[in-house]
């Protein structure tokens, strides 16, 4: 039968969330698209239970890495790696994907995040260039080229609806009108900016030029959004999540349960090619998590001060968290795509902005990279006193994704040990 993906979709009574199919490769692209999923857990991971003691491919798995045992050949673990000159405190979370220095200093201005830069590489190819998700509302991980924070989404039902639920005809017209109003506003702003700049100093003219560049980027985004408004959304068999009990989103304390819901949504997003870049923020909290044997709030336990009882409770939380990571990676691994799996085509970065949560230390970060077609299975050990810049790993990831760059943030060149 002579058929194409376009013909199949046009004649199907129900649009399914089709995976990448090699039958249609000649019509579109010869290989499945590349993706990136970033995960940051901002209370760190207890170092003695995370890092292996040996470097190389023959390392003995640590307590936490043993939980990922059947995925060993699908990930690389890093030690002795961090962003230089970040400083302590939880403010370091804002620099996790940017490597911008000294976020606690007055007048700090962030820089572009790795996920945003990757999303710009494929802007227009998917309905959502970038999905930024969080277990709680609040500080984001993602930042634009001008250092502006990109708000994250933290309500599963809204995330699901945005990706998969079609609106009514009136909803579509309302969305188109919103986009067109945006165009009109941008047109007026460009005229006013041009008039204004002629009367400004050279320094202020540069400020206006930078602002105009941001306006132009927004205009491109609006055009892309308008092109997608009338296109049908994919339909998936997975039921829509909600925030009602027993959902973990019914109470604030179950951050790991919330993360698992977001992991599932992220997998659906990349599988249906709704986006190719996702960042997920697992935000710690002061509340006591619903885990047997844990008697204090997560934040208080993370500041364990080497107290054995607190460390055991912290490890109870983090073992469950590592199991959630394993479940996400296994789901990607077990989803066939092309001649491989969804994990083969998706780089998954898992880590934290804190290496020592007890003392707010921002060196020796727990970092793990899975999937993406890399040759995995080893422990790349850096110098624990003179850390490798984490942004060098970001350069490697960006290049694998297709971004032509030799530097990002504090990283010059790639991690040559990663192949």
| DSSP codes joined into one string, 21-57 | -GGGTTTS-SSPPPEEEEEEETT---HHHHS-SS-BT
The token pair at 412 is 């010059």
Q: What single-letter DSSP state applies at residue 148? A: -
In the three-class reduction of DSSP (H, G, I as helix; E, B as strand; rest coil), residue 191 is classed as helix
Residue the block writes with tokens 């673990």? 77
Q: In sequence order, what E strands does 223-366 have?
A: 277-282, 336-337, 340-341, 346-351
Distances from the Cα of 371 to the Cα of 111, 148, 281, 398, angstroms: 27, 30, 19, 14
* CA count, 13 A, side-chain hemisphere, 402: 14
d(CA 183, CA 226): 10
d(CA 390, CA 278): 19
Q: What single-letter DSSP state applies at residue 395? A: H
d(CA 342, CA 35): 9
The token pair at 52 is 């292996």
What is the pTM assigned to this prediction? 0.84
Q: What's residue 182's pLDDT? A: 66
Q: How far apart are the first and last CA of the chain?
A: 41
Q: What single-letter DSSP state applies at residue 103? A: T
Compute CA 67 distance to the chain's CA centroid, rounded to the nearest angstrom.
22
The token pair at 237 is 């068999």
Domain 19-137+148-166+235-412: which topology? Alkaline Phosphatase, subunit A (3.40.720)
In the three-class reduction of DSSP (H, G, I as helix; E, B as strand; rest coil), residue 410 is classed as coil
Residues 250-299 have pLDDT tens digits of 988 999 999 999 999 999 999 999 999 999 999 988 889 999 999 998 99
8 Å CB contact between 56 and 297: no
List the one residue out of 225, 263, 224, 273 whose CA is nearest residue 33. 273
In the three-class reduction of DSSP (H, G, I as helix; E, B as strand; rest coil), residue 157 is classed as helix
d(CA 96, CA 40): 8
* DSSP code per residue over 197-259: HTTS-HHHHHHHHHHHHHHHHHHHHHHHHHHHHTSPPPB-SSPPP-SSTTSGGGSTT-HHHHH
Please list the pLDDT of the chain residue by residue as tens digits (419 residues): 444 544 444 443 333 444 555 555 555 546 899 999 999 999 999 999 999 999 999 999 999 999 999 999 999 999 999 999 998 788 999 999 999 999 999 889 899 999 999 999 998 899 899 999 999 987 789 999 888 899 899 999 999 988 888 767 777 677 667 667 766 666 766 667 677 777 777 767 766 666 666 566 656 666 666 677 677 888 888 889 999 999 999 988 999 999 999 999 999 999 999 999 999 999 988 889 999 999 998 999 999 999 999 999 999 999 999 999 999 999 999 999 988 999 999 999 999 999 999 898 999 999 999 999 999 999 999 999 999 999 999 999 999 999 999 999 999 999 999 98
CB atoms within 10 A of CB 103: 21
Query: Measured at the alpha carbon of residue 328, what is the angle toward residues 313 and 395, in degrees to the nearest 5?
Result: 100
Helical axes 114-121 vs 390-401, angle rounded to 10°: 10
8 Å CB contact between 364 and 80: yes
- What is the residue extent of each domain of the chain? 19-137+148-166+235-412, 167-231
């Amino acid at each position: 039968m002579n058929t194409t993906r376009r013909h199949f979709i046009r004649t199907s009574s129900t649009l399914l969330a089709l995976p990448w199919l090699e039958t249609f490769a000649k019509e579109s692209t010869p290989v499945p698209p590349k993706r990136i999923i970033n995960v940051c857990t901002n209370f760190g991971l207890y170092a003695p239970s995370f890092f292996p003691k040996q470097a190389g491919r023959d390392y003995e798995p640590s307590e936490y890495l043993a939980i990922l045992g059947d995925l060993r050949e699908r990930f690389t673990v890093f030690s002795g790696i961090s962003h230089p000159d970040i400083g302590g405190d939880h403010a370091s979370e804002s620099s996790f994907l940017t490597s911008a220095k000294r976020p606690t200093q007055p007048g700090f201005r962030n820089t572009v995040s790795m996920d945003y830069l990757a999303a710009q590489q494929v802007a227009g190819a998917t309905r959502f260039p970038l999905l930024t998700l969080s277990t709680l509302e609040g500080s984001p991980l993602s930042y634009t080229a001008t250092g502006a924070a990109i708000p994250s989404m933290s309500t599963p039902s809204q995330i699901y609806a945005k990706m998969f639920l079609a609106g009514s005809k009136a909803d579509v017209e309302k969305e188109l009108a919103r986009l067109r109003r945006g165009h009109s506003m941008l047109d007026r702003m460009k005229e006013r900016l041009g008039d204004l700049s002629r009367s400004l100093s050279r320094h202020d003219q540069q400020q206006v030029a930078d602002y105009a560049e941001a306006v132009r980027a927004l205009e491109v985004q609006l055009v892309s959004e308008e092109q997608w408004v009338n296109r049908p959304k994919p339909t998936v068999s997975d039921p829509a999540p909600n925030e009602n009990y027993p959902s973990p989103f019914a109470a604030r304390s179950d951050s790991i349960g919330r993360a698992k819901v977001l992991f599932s949504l992220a997998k659906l997003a990349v599988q249906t090619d709704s986006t190719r870049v996702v960042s997920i923020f697992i935000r710690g909290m002061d509340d006591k998590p619903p885990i047997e044997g844990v008697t204090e709030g997560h934040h208080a336990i993370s500041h364990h001060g080497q107290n054995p009882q607190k460390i055991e409770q912290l490890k109870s939380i983090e073992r469950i968290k590592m199991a959630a990571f394993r479940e996400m990676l296994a789901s990607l691994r077990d989803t066939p795509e092309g001649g491989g799996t969804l994990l083969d085509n998706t780089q998954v970065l898992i880590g934290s902005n804190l290496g020592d949560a007890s003392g707010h230390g921002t060196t020796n970060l727990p970092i793990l990279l899975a999937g993406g077609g890399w040759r995995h299975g080893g422990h790349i050990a850096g110098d624990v006193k003179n850390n490798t810049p984490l942004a060098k790993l970001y350069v490697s990831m960006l290049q694998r994704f297709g971004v032509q760059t030799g530097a990002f943030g504090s990283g010059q060149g790639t991690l040559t040990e990663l192949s």
